[in-house]
Amino acid sequence: MCDCINITFQSGTYSTLYFEVDASGTYNGFNTFEFTYFGNTYYIWFDGIETWFITDLVGGGTYIDSLKTSDPCPLGDPSQWLSFAVTTETKACECAKNEDRMYFDYKSIKIPGVCPPQDRGFEECCCEELVLAKSTSNSWETDKTSAWMKLSDPADTVTFNLYKDGVLTTYTPSVVAFPNETNAYYTTIEWIDVLNADGIGCYELEVQYDISGITGTISWGKYRLLPFTIQNAIATARLRANFDGYHEIEQINFTGSGIESTYRFNGFIGNRQPNTEIDNIIYNNREMRRVIRENLNEYEILVDPSLKCVTKPLVDLYLLSENNLYISDYNAHNHDYCINDLPVIVSESPELTYYDFARKASLKCTVADKFKNKRTYY
């Protein structure tokens, strides 16, 4: 009898995997072998007459494949194993484990972790993001939300599901492959399309995945959808961002994807400071004249005291990974009513302010004009 065999196994469209397994027990006087394929455990065992079987139970269970031989080792090529649904090949191990080492290379990814809420005595309202939509050519009057997931293998699956009050929406999020990241996918929720298809209300975006047999569901966010009016937008501000770089946090290459997403929060964007650069010249007659003037405008992003579900995407995504960033403000008390998707770039590190005996924190970040073209010169 053999104590170790090499197995090459493929079922349907699933990827071919390779196993080197030791005998796991005995049945009908011969060794049995056990291996796991995409989360399912299978056994190779002898029926005591003339056939080796692969099933999900020793001595029975669901039939997977079989090999007609009474040899004490279940060795055979794909033509000898009899199932049409799977491809099986078994060989003897080439050497004893004490004599040599085997090298295997497996792809692995980081499955997004979820931090479950705990009851520590604080009563806080659940995190719900306000999203507004309107049929308009003004980009600052309609929101959109993007979500993504990286898988480990072509056999893995991901689905983006949008629910309204716990029921799947008429609007179906599309699944789009990243152009420069294998096995990674994203979706973009166009809230104007959701408004037209399913109306105003409370929504939740979930990401359901099956990665190497591990299944799970991630709640990407909860949203309250309303039509855009200045009354609905009052007291909010918004960031709009395009992502086109490598995100090390998710280990996803966004290059070429052109993903766009917005984030609306309770807060304020404004307080413009021109930061004028002044270059003058003094002539021989002591007359001073202008050479160059340039306004290097800066703006403040101020987020009201908020829970981590608000500050985290701002700090760890929109103000960290953006390639293009646009700011909009909808406050009645703003000195400037024309901050509508103004292109900017982060110029100073975001700063969080924490409060004693409170879960909420406020955020401040300074951004500057994306294009330095506000100057006069000879």
Within-domain flag for 67: yes
Strand bridging mode 129-133 / 214-227: parallel
Within-domain flag for 362: yes
- Closest listed residue to residue 198, CA positions, set 220, 230, 223: 223
Kindly state the average pLDDT of the residues 125-139. 91
On the question of pLDDT at 295 being above 60, the answer is yes
Kindly state the average pLDDT of the residues 349-367. 95
On the question of pLDDT at 123 being above 70, the answer is no
Final residue in a domain of this structure, among 92, 109, 137: 92
Kindly state the average pLDDT of the residues 2-10. 90
Within-domain flag for 112: no
pLDDT band at residue 253 under the 50/70/90 scheme: very high
Amino acid at position 74, single letter: P
Within-domain flag for 323: yes
Separation of alpha carbons 100 and 181, rounded Å: 36
Calculate the CA 103 to chain-centre distance: 31
Query: Of the ranges 62-66, 332-336, 373-377, which one carries the lowest mean pLDDT score?
Result: 373-377
Separation of alpha carbons 203 and 200, rounded Å: 9
pLDDT band at residue 250 under the 50/70/90 scheme: confident
Within-domain flag for 108: no
Query: Of the ranges 110-114, 205-209, 304-308, which one carries the lowest mean pLDDT score?
Result: 110-114
For residues 340 and 279, membership in a common domain is answered with yes
For residues 258 and 202, membership in a common domain is answered with no
Q: Considering the chain, what is the average pLDDT of its residues?
A: 91
On the question of pLDDT at 291 being above 60, the answer is yes
Within-domain flag for 271: yes
For residues 239 and 358, membership in a common domain is answered with yes
Within-domain flag for 109: no
Calculate the CA 226 to chain-centre distance: 25
Separation of alpha carbons 157 and 168, rounded Å: 19
For residues 173 and 198, membership in a common domain is answered with yes
Within-domain flag for 106: no
Total number of domains in the chain: 3
**pLDDT for the residue 101:** 58
Counting Cβ atoms within 10 Å, is residue 346 exposed (0-12), middle (13-18) or buried (19+)? middle
Segment 224-233, tens digit of pLDDT: 999 999 999 9
Amino acid at position 251, single letter: Q
The domain that contains 135 carries what CATH number?
Answer: 2.60.40.10
75 SS3 class: coil
Final residue in a domain of this structure, among 177, 212, 228: 228
For residues 252 and 352, membership in a common domain is answered with yes
Residue 263 · residue 314 · CB < 8 Å: yes
pLDDT band at residue 154 under the 50/70/90 scheme: confident
| % pLDDT > 90, the chain | 76
* Sheet bearing 144-150, strands edge to edge: 144-150, 184-190, 176-177
Which residue pairs, CB below 8 angstroms and at least 24 apart, start in 159-163?
Answer: 159/207, 159/208, 159/209, 160/187, 160/205, 160/206, 160/207, 160/208, 160/220, 161/205, 161/206, 161/207, 161/208, 162/189, 162/194, 162/203, 162/204, 162/205, 162/206, 163/203, 163/204, 163/205, 163/206
**pLDDT for the residue 106:** 54
* Sheet bearing 30-37, strands edge to edge: 60-68, 51-57, 40-46, 30-37, 17-27, 4-11, 86-92
| Residue 206 backbone class (left: φ over 0; alpha: ψ -120 to 50; beta: rest) | beta
For residues 217 and 245, membership in a common domain is answered with no
Which residues span the domain enclosing 39?
A: 4-92
For residues 84 and 131, membership in a common domain is answered with no
**pLDDT for the residue 214:** 84
For residues 147 and 87, membership in a common domain is answered with no
Kindly state the average pLDDT of the residues 227-246. 97
For residues 214 and 256, membership in a common domain is answered with no
For residues 248 and 358, membership in a common domain is answered with yes
Final residue in a domain of this structure, among 228, 243, 258: 228
Segment 46-65, tens digit of pLDDT: 999 999 999 999 999 999 99
Residue 284 · residue 269 · CB < 8 Å: no
**pLDDT for the residue 126:** 66
Separation of alpha carbons 130 and 264, rounded Å: 6
**pLDDT for the residue 11:** 86
Residue 131 · residue 223 · CB < 8 Å: yes
For residues 190 and 239, membership in a common domain is answered with no
On the question of pLDDT at 200 being above 80, the answer is yes
For residues 245 and 362, membership in a common domain is answered with yes
102 compared with 1, residue with greater pLDDT: 1
Kindly state the average pLDDT of the residues 10-33. 87
Listing DSSP states for 292-336 in one string gives EEE---EEEEEEEEE-HHHHHHIIIIITTS-SEEEEEE--TT-S-
